[in-house]
Structures are given as C-alpha cells and as structure tokens.
Amino acid sequence: MTDTAIGERTVFLWNLPARPGECRLATAILVASSLAFLVLAPFAKQQLGPLPAFIPTYQSALIINDLITAIFLLGQCQLSRSPALGLLAGGYLFSALISAAHALTFPGLFAPDGLLGAGPQTTAWLYMFWHGGFPLFVIAYASQNFAEGPPRRSGVLIIAVAGFVIAAVGGATLLATLGQFVLPPIMVGNHYAPAMIGVVSGVWALNALALYLLWRRRPYSVLDLWLIVVMCAWLFDIAMSAMFNAGRYDLGFYAGRIYGLLAASFVLVVMLIQSGRLYVALHHLREGDRAKAAELHRLSTVDPLTGIANRRAFDEALSREWRRMMRHGSALSLLMIDVDFFKRYNDAYGHVAGDQCLRAVGQVLAGKARRAGEMAARYGGEEFAVLLPHVDLADACKLGEVICAAIRAQNILHERSDVASCVTVSVGAGSIADLPELAAALSREGTLPSASMPGATVLVEMADHALYQAKIAGRNRVAGGAHDALAAPAAPSATRRMPSAA
C-alpha cells in the first residue's frame, strides 16, 4: 500500500494507533487490577451472604454492555468490511446471549432451580462455555489479517456471524440443560467438585492464549490495546470466581464478577470516547468546510480588483430578480455605467493608476446600491452595472445622476478627457415592468432574444442601448429607456447632461 493510500484510508478502532497517553492509562488500569487481585486473592474463600439484587443487576449490566459493544463493532464491520471485526462482534454477541441464558438458569434467581429445565450443573457449565467461548472469538480476531476487505455485501457477513453465534449459544444451552447428564459434575451444591480444577484450567488457558496473541500484535491499535486489558480482566475474573474461591457467594465469587463487568465495559467505553472524538472532529471539519465554501463562493462571486460583485454574480442575480419580477409583476431596472475615455486614462497614467481608478469607481457604486436586492457589479473592463429591483425608470435615472455626481466628487485627475478635467462616467438606465403582459407583447413583436438566451438579456440590451445614447450625446450624463407593453424595446427617454467639472 502506498503512502497516499495509507493517508487516505478510513480510520477505525482496529487501525487507529494507540497514543502514548492511552497506553499509559491502560498500563495504570492493569497495574491497579493486578494489585487488587493480589490483595483479594488470599481472602477469596471468605464466605459472604447471598445478595439477591447483585446477580440480576450484574447480569443485566453485562448483557447491555455486551450488546451495545457488539452493535458498535458490527457497525464498524459494515463500514470497513473487515472479517476480523465481524468475528470480534460475534464474540461480544456470544457473551451477551450466553450470559442471558446463564442468568435464566441461575438457581434462586427466577426459580429455585433456575429456568429452561436447569439442573445443579447447568449454570456452572454455562459459565465455562461462556468464558471459554469468548476467547475463541478473540483468538480468531487476533489471527486475522487486519485490512479492509474487498467490496462485498457486508450484510451477508453480519447475518452469518449472528446466525453462527445464535446457533452456538443455543447448542451450549441445550447441552448444559437437556444434556447436562453427559457432562462431568463440577458443582456440589454451592461448592466446587474436584473436576472443576481441570475444566477451569482449560478455560483459563484459552484466555491466556488469546491474551498472548493480542500481546504479539505490535504496534497496538486502540482496539488491540483495550482488548489486552479486557483479557487480563477475564483472567482475573476466572481466577477469582472459579479457581481461588470455594464456591458461590464468597469473596472471590463477587470480586470475579466485578472483574467481569469491568471487562465488558472497557471496549464499550473506549468506543464511546472515540465516537465522541470523531463527532468533535467531524464538527470542526464541517465548520472548516463551511468556511472554505464561503470563501470559495466569495472568490467566485467577487471581482478581485474592485471588491464588488463580478460578472458571474451579476448574471445570477439578474436571472433571479428577473424570475421574481415575472412572478410578481414588479418593476426591474438596470444601470449600465462606463468610465469615460478610460483607455486614454490608462495610456496617460498607466495601468496601476487605471486599476486604482476602477477600484474607486467600484467603491462609489457599492456605496450607492445599499437597499435589499440591489447589486453593484463589474460587468467587464471599465463597464459596471447596478441592478435595481422594484425601482422604476425615473428613480433609476435619479440614482444614475447621484452616481455621476459622486464619481466627479472623487476628483480623479483626467487631463485627456474631452468632457471634464476629472474622471466621469456615462450611465444608461433600462427598466421593464407590466409583466407578464409585457412578455407576451414582446414575444408578439419579435423583440425577445432567441429561445436559447435568458429573457433577462432584454433588460441588459435596453440599458446598454441607453448607455450608447449617453455616449453619443456627449458622455458625463444619464440616458434612460423604458419598456412597457406599448413601447418599442429600446426607446430612449430624455438624456440628462451633467454639469462639467472643468
């Protein structure tokens, strides 16, 4: 696998390297568990009284923890298509189901002799099947090649694992209940029979083998690290519950089950913590993507020289306002603005000064188009546009006059201009209203653009035609043209001459 592929692979618990802090925490937990075991082991046979609420509380918490862990792992398996995760999920599902059977058959919990036809050996043998079966799944997990599997239907793997586990739990339960007479007796009342030593030693050895295989896997992933902690807790559980103690309801019996509950919780807690971290990372990533998207949108819609909207943003706004006008029949006006004799300005003062001039003009336009929906944009070169929704021709022309005066007030020297000693602009105003009746009239008169062009170009053509009229009339002025159901598409109205600043 190349470095690129490694960098791009999806992160799961089984391929996420354990960080030094996690290794130190796991080591601290192992040390504390070992010290507790060494302290409690000499007193494991100390008889304590039965606690009726302990077993159902312990078993319920164990079942819930194991089921949630199995669901988490099955979800990871579905995403990664890794058979190893499927096997480990099967181990936790096996533990949850067989512990449920163990609780149902426990004597005195739901019935004096237990449910499901349990006998005096049933619960003890289910404990052995339980604690001998889970490490087999861990051994299978540790023996797998940890890589994302090829594309396949992950649902088939999950169904297969679940079916195998249900069959295994059902078989073990039947053997411990209906077939209990073929199994050697390992309990005498609440105490262990001599055969218990051999059986529990084999179970303990399976857990030790699973721990050894996990320990050999280096460097450890997060999942490997905490499975090592789990298997150590299981070893302490078995030793306290079935090796160093004398039977039920002694100190070892209770201490071992506490170890078992902790073992069932470690991986679940780690997965919950990792899920929280991933959620936080996803939140930060989403916020970063939003910021990048906003910046990308800004870069794609803002003219970098003048800081106002660019041609793309203008076209989108014009199309949007045109459709709104068609729906509501409101007025829509447009100012097309051209800097007078700008080529001469560039030739005389240079392109740097020309850019500064365009920037100043753009800022003036941005300051005048302030109402909702209004937009000042650089149309191209030294041409600008101001889109004016809900504005009629008369008001558009008035705004054009204000813009002309504001540009002159900048007093940008332009000695080669034929109309003034400073930079001036010519403004063409176009307006269209009385829709949808107007759209039908324009269509009958053949004045609409071709079917492949948006209808909004009619307004651009009117404003552009008015701008042409302003230029041929002497520049430094506003010319306006309106289009209604009875007028020609480019009929100009009065051209207004601006006072010279010479």
Q: Where are the extended beta strands (E) located within 95-209? A: 187-188, 191-192
Taking CA atoms, 9 is separated from 15, 147, 218, in Å, by 9, 10, 19
CA 152, 158, 163, 168 torsion: positive or negative?
Answer: positive
Question: Do 117 and 247 lie in a common domain?
Answer: yes
Question: Do 258 and 319 lie in a common domain?
Answer: no
Q: What is the mean pLDDT of residues 443-469?
A: 69
Question: Do 322 and 208 lie in a common domain?
Answer: no
Inform me whether the pLDDT recorded for 366 exceeds 70.
yes
pLDDT digit string, tens, across residues 310-362: 999 999 999 888 888 888 878 899 999 999 999 999 999 999 999 999 999 99
As given in the structure block, the two tokens for residue 425 are 């602009």
Inform me whether the pLDDT recorded for 30 exceeds 70.
yes
Give pLDDT, residue 433.
66
Say how many C-beta atoms besides its own lie within 10 A of residue 236's C-beta.
25
pLDDT digit string, tens, across residues 244-301: 888 888 898 899 888 888 888 888 888 788 777 777 877 888 888 888 888 887 778 8
**Burial class of residue 349 in the structure, from the number of CB atoms within 10 Å of its CB (0-12 exposed, 13-18 middle, 19+ buried):** middle
Please answer whether residues 403 and 425 qualify as being in contact, where contact means their C-beta atoms are separated by less than 8 angstroms: yes
With respect to residue 1, please indicate whether it lies within any of the assigned structural domains. no
Q: What domain count does the chain have? A: 2
With respect to residue 217, please indicate whether it lies within any of the assigned structural domains. yes
Say how many C-beta atoms besides its own lie within 10 A of residue 233's C-beta.
25
- Closest residue by Cα to residue 221 from 29, 11, 66: 11
Question: Do 345 and 490 lie in a common domain?
Answer: yes
Inform me whether the pLDDT recorded for 502 exceeds 90.
no
Q: What is the mean pLDDT of residues 31-42?
A: 92
Residues 6 or more apart whose CB falls under 8 angstroms from that of 307 comprise 359, 362, 363, 366
Say how many C-beta atoms besides its own lie within 10 A of residue 27's C-beta.
12
Residues 6 or more apart whose CB falls under 8 angstroms from that of 390 comprise 330, 331, 332, 373
As given in the structure block, the two tokens for residue 371 are 């109402």
CATH of the domain at 455: 3.30.70.270
Question: Do 31 and 102 lie in a common domain?
Answer: yes
pLDDT digit string, tens, across residues 57-71: 888 999 999 999 998
Q: What is the mean pLDDT of residues 127-143?
A: 93
Give pLDDT, residue 260.
87
Please answer whether residues 492 and 482 qualify as being in contact, where contact means their C-beta atoms are separated by less than 8 angstroms: no
Per the model's pLDDT, the better-predicted residue between 449 and 63 turns out to be 63
Give pLDDT, residue 146.
54
Inform me whether the pLDDT recorded for 118 exceeds 60.
yes
Give pLDDT, residue 5.
38
Give pLDDT, residue 490.
38
In the listed set 243, 264, 285, which residue is the last one of a domain according to the structure?
264
What backbone phi and psi angles, to 5 degrees, belong to 66?
-65, -40
With respect to residue 479, please indicate whether it lies within any of the assigned structural domains. yes
Question: Do 446 and 331 lie in a common domain?
Answer: yes
- Closest residue by Cα to residue 224 from 32, 1, 26, 9: 26
Q: What is the mean pLDDT of the chain?
A: 84
Q: What is the mean pLDDT of residues 27-41?
A: 92
Dist. CA 176–CA 171, nearest whole Å: 9
Question: Do 166 and 259 lie in a common domain?
Answer: yes
In the listed set 230, 245, 264, which residue is the last one of a domain according to the structure?
264
Inform me whether the pLDDT recorded for 443 exceeds 80.
no
pLDDT digit string, tens, across residues 217-243: 888 888 888 899 999 999 999 999 888
Question: Do 250 and 332 lie in a common domain?
Answer: no
The parent domain of residue 64 ranges over: 18-264
Cβ-count burial 177-186 (b if 16+ within 10 Å, e if not) = beebeebebb
As given in the structure block, the two tokens for residue 407 are 């540009």
As given in the structure block, the two tokens for residue 247 are 């039977």
- For residue 347, the cross-strand partners are none
As given in the structure block, the two tokens for residue 45 are 């046979």
**pTM score over 0.85:** no
CA 159, 165, 169, 175 torsion: positive or negative?
Answer: positive
Least confident of 136-150, 171-185, 427-441: 427-441
Give pLDDT, residue 7.
42
β-pair type (425-432, 477-483)? parallel
Distance of CA 352 to the CA centre of its chain: 45
**Burial class of residue 368 in the structure, from the number of CB atoms within 10 Å of its CB (0-12 exposed, 13-18 middle, 19+ buried):** middle
Question: Do 333 and 246 lie in a common domain?
Answer: no
Q: What is the mean pLDDT of residues 19-31?
A: 89
With respect to residue 3, please indicate whether it lies within any of the assigned structural domains. no
Dist. CA 315–CA 311, nearest whole Å: 6
With respect to residue 329, please indicate whether it lies within any of the assigned structural domains. yes
Please answer whether residues 329 and 390 qualify as being in contact, where contact means their C-beta atoms are separated by less than 8 angstroms: no
